[in-house]
Structure 1
């Protein structure tokens, strides 16, 4: 049966199985009946505050029961939700809320960043204090906006993608790439502001399955396999870098999970074969490499790893999902076996919020669908269709890159650097590394830039952009190379081998022998980061560290008995600070 909206589909599932477990975590459980009742109370309160069709509500709650309940309540009230990561700096939260036109943001408590957000912060406690009105889903249409998800923008400003109810419903109902059934247990591991959470949350709740929430914060690589086994997870999504780390550390980690989707970045063929080999005798499960831009609602294609051939040199991104069409078009716009990837079908979003020109540039009429009004999305990705119909990913046609599954336009990082008073010019480029891609920033300092240091730029960017957008290297140059037309000539930027890469070493002048704890941490950092030399004042993230490597550091720290938490590792990014916090 086809449902027009997410609340209509959810309520039908809740009526069919009211006592089934909907939400599960270490803190407790909620049945479908309880989830329905609690979301109704919040929906009534949101309506009293003016939420209705076309109104976007910020949700700043992280991965939690409250986040799921509030998002469902916003949809029941007729509005769309804007997921906001607790890791975003206040200035970015303010910019997203203003761009989305959100009248307010829902949080679990009055937040310290509220004054900078430029929007009222409504606490859950205040919403729950009103009368428990009976609520049925507001009359809605499949084309109504369900949520706004922001991606990095080519103009230096993030773009809000308008994803509809129909987009969500088609992703998780009447599909074949995964079994969406009441007996499944989906793991909610992704950040709420990452579009994989769409698959996790609504894949479970629109099929009568159980949604298991991973603990708040970042799950450690050491803890994740035990969580999967102990809590009976049967369906999950992993970003490609996390899958690589997991399969390297614990090849049996995913053995207990029947259905696994992996995506976000190109997959290692060797690791894919290793996982497929472990599951060769499991006809009841599926492991697939998936692909899809946010603009086409999370996934557009899937490739079962069991189809890998011994001659394959890369892992294909697969074939289109049901209700999805994928075209390879040449420069002349005609179908070709190799070309730019265009995606049509029921997953294509409405467009970009408040950006008609960019919407017109990327969301085009679909001349191949044979359906009046059909549209397709120009992805900017390049692909090749194999004789068996599977698509191979060939890279980007523009400067866009992906880091840990997040799409990044380097120009957005450049704009953030240029907002620093000591930076006159900036260029940010991707640097391939064995386990993915990192960013390098070339900066030209201004007359006010005598004190500009890599460490200072890292600290500045942490207040402006998400952590995954902070470059790993900073190179100070006298000027940026230009073409004869005055445009940046990225090909003439100094290579990292030629550049005198500044280390983020401290300038305290202290030459004391590192303490025992500092020596332990130095050894761990050198091992995890693959460096020959690390000082107590080096910054972890500017040495090339990221959230996956910090999980490896945590595992080594726990094994050494140093008594440091993941929160401390993120808050104290030098060995000197870390050792002091452990003291």
Structure 2
């Protein structure tokens, strides 16, 4: 791995490694690598790839299903002067490779030709990152080394990562956040702890990792911060060594920032805004007490040094009459989209001599002069750091044979994560028959949705045929009020309601409660009140 005349990410890592070769660079599930060992591993892996035919200018699709070997794969690809394309088996890699046309595919240290006759990549591209969302709708963003280096240097003027920090790599390598979580610490001499799949998904395991590895900096999505705060004891969170919380990739509720600053009063909470096309963070701010007095979402913050943000009018007038499209300009922008010239011409525009990226996010200036996000100009919503295409959600619902039409909408509430709600219009004859729970026609003119057919049969026989609750002379007058505690799917309540008596029904299990509510509605049990 020779030194480079022109700066790139690998050359920058070399510089740090020469300054502190014995410092810990990577803490992996299977061991640790110092900066010196890491650069040696990269050099050896790069040499092996060159022997297999990898040359500068090649785009390499890297299988990132196993994060530890994939991490060294993508670093070695860049060390060869190539660019990497992360391929996650969970996100339709065939669709991505078919559109990106990488020269090679890399898995288990083996290089396989894919589209060797494609033109080589140029302009110092470090990687081609698919935007989040469905594979077919994602964009393939070409990101230069220089843009990454600029943004990370600018961001660290705010976050102040130092060699004493221990930082988590939580984002999958197929997400653009992984670039920041890996290179921001490494380029500033810190140690990166690579979380495994279990630790990413299990809050107990994640908190244990944070504690045992003495993590000082946590960079993640607000939804994960919410999960940690909801599931972990405040004392356990307060006992960690976290001094820096960095939230990005989705709107950040002010209540969440309040919660974490209360849990960790000595830590600093950074709210950040950015996209794949802006090569990570474009605007950020250290959240202060004055910013936490209201509800709703935090503003995007101040542009990083060298970056400009502005509000551009929409082509179509927004629904609230105030929101405009948020645009970002500066040396940190991506080069554009690979093989998507139409999208590039729409999203990357030049106005008054400055190149802008139109993010698709709607925003407005609030009373305090701050830019706050208000939604999307397209039919997408960001959840858990991913852009979800609502058109794709609706199309998936329409594939069901019972569905005639579908609509999906984002619903947001103050201080809550956004959620997607969907409604469908069913085809004639499918009103109930294609429900997730089978509809069963019983005697006594009953129709019920059931979760457990044998249990339904047993309860029906007990209540309607054997009338076990009417033994010993028990009579229910029409003006009586009956309490049904543990109503299950509602058969006993329905039997009482047929006599016009009033019923107060209780069912503590949420899924069963939903079935009970549906059955009461199906059978027009107006005298039953489900509590």
TM-score (structure 2 length as normaliser): 0.72
Conserved? CA contact 2:282–2:303, under 8 Å: yes
* Aligned position for 2:463: none
Distance 1:38 1:423, change over 3 A: farther
* Aligned position for 1:312: 294
Q: Structure 1 residue 361: deviation in Å?
A: 0.3
* Aligned: 1:257 with 2:242: yes
Measure the CA separation in 1 of the matches of 2:301 and 2:219: 16
Conserved? CA contact 1:240–1:263, under 8 Å: yes
* Aligned position for 2:383: 403
Q: Structure 1 residue 307: deviation in Å?
A: 4.4
* Aligned: 1:442 with 2:424: yes
Deviates more, 1:238-247 or 1:217-226: 217-226
* Aligned position for 2:174: 193
* Aligned position for 2:158: 177
* Aligned position for 1:247: 229
SS of aligned partner of 2:234? coil
Q: Structure 1 residue 144: deviation in Å?
A: 2.1
**What does 1:224-235 correspond to in 2, within 5 Å?**
224-235=206-217
Distance 1:105 1:310, change over 3 A: closer
Q: Structure 1 residue 39: deviation in Å?
A: 1.4
Distance 1:53 1:435, change over 3 A: same
Conserved? CA contact 1:3–1:169, under 8 Å: no
Q: Structure 1 residue 268: deviation in Å?
A: 2.6
Conserved? CA contact 1:324–1:345, under 8 Å: yes
Conserved? CA contact 2:21–2:36, under 8 Å: yes
SS of aligned partner of 2:90? coil
Q: Structure 1 residue 534: deviation in Å?
A: 7.1
Conserved? CA contact 2:404–2:424, under 8 Å: no
Q: Structure 1 residue 387: deviation in Å?
A: 6.6
Distance 1:455 1:160, change over 3 A: farther
Distance 1:211 1:532, change over 3 A: same
Q: Structure 1 residue 511: deviation in Å?
A: 5.0
**What does 1:306-385 correspond to in 2, within 5 Å?**
306-309=288-291, 311-314=293-296, 315-331=298-314, 339-367=324-352, 374-385=354-365
* Aligned: 1:162 with 2:158: no
Measure the CA separation in 2 of the matches of 1:167 and 1:397: 26
Query: Which of 46, 53, 58 in structure 2 is aligned with 1:55?
Result: 58
Distance 1:13 1:310, change over 3 A: closer
Measure the CA separation in 1 of the matches of 2:185 and 2:405: 47
* Aligned position for 2:36: 33
Conserved? CA contact 1:418–1:425, under 8 Å: yes
Query: Which of 257, 265, 271 in structure 2 is aligned with 1:289?
Result: 271
Distance 1:348 1:419, change over 3 A: farther
SS of aligned partner of 2:167? strand
Deviates more, 1:212-221 or 1:92-101: 212-221
Distance 1:186 1:311, change over 3 A: closer
* Aligned position for 1:17: 20
Give CA-to-partner distance per residue, 1:23-65, whole Å, 9 cap, x none: 1034210111221122122222333444344422122233533
Distance 1:164 1:356, change over 3 A: same
Identify which of structures 1 and 2 has the higher relative contact order when contacts are C-alpha pairs closer than 8 Å and 6+ apart: 1
SS of aligned partner of 1:533? helix
Q: Structure 1 residue 155: deviation in Å?
A: 11
Q: Structure 1 residue 208: deviation in Å?
A: 1.9
* Aligned: 1:102 with 2:99: no
Measure the CA separation in 2 of the matches of 1:405 and 1:264: 5
Conserved? CA contact 2:403–2:424, under 8 Å: no
Distance 1:441 1:184, change over 3 A: same
* Aligned: 1:87 with 2:90: yes
Give CA-to-partner distance per residue, 1:251-295, whole Å, 9 cap, x none: 352652111111233223223212223444x3xx42111111211
* Aligned: 1:216 with 2:197: yes
Say which structure is richer in strand.
2
Q: Structure 1 residue 331: deviation in Å?
A: 4.7
Distance 1:178 1:62, change over 3 A: farther
Give CA-to-partner distance per residue, 1:347-404, whole Å, 9 cap, x none: 211111111011010011143xxxx6x4111112122335765322222223211121
**What does 1:559-578 correspond to in 2, within 5 Å?**
none
Unpaired segments of 5 or more residues in structure 2? 116-120, 438-447, 460-485, 487-506, 516-531
SS of aligned partner of 1:394? strand
Conserved? CA contact 1:156–1:411, under 8 Å: no
Distance 1:339 1:257, change over 3 A: same
Conserved? CA contact 2:59–2:83, under 8 Å: yes
TM-score (structure 1 length as normaliser): 0.66
- Number of residue pairs aligned between Structure 1 and Structure 2: 439
**What does 1:294-305 correspond to in 2, within 5 Å?**
294-305=276-287
Q: Structure 1 residue 450: deviation in Å?
A: 12
Conserved? CA contact 1:61–1:106, under 8 Å: no
Q: Structure 1 residue 406: deviation in Å?
A: 0.1
Q: Structure 1 residue 177: deviation in Å?
A: 2.3
Measure the CA separation in 1 of the matches of 2:292 and 2:39: 49
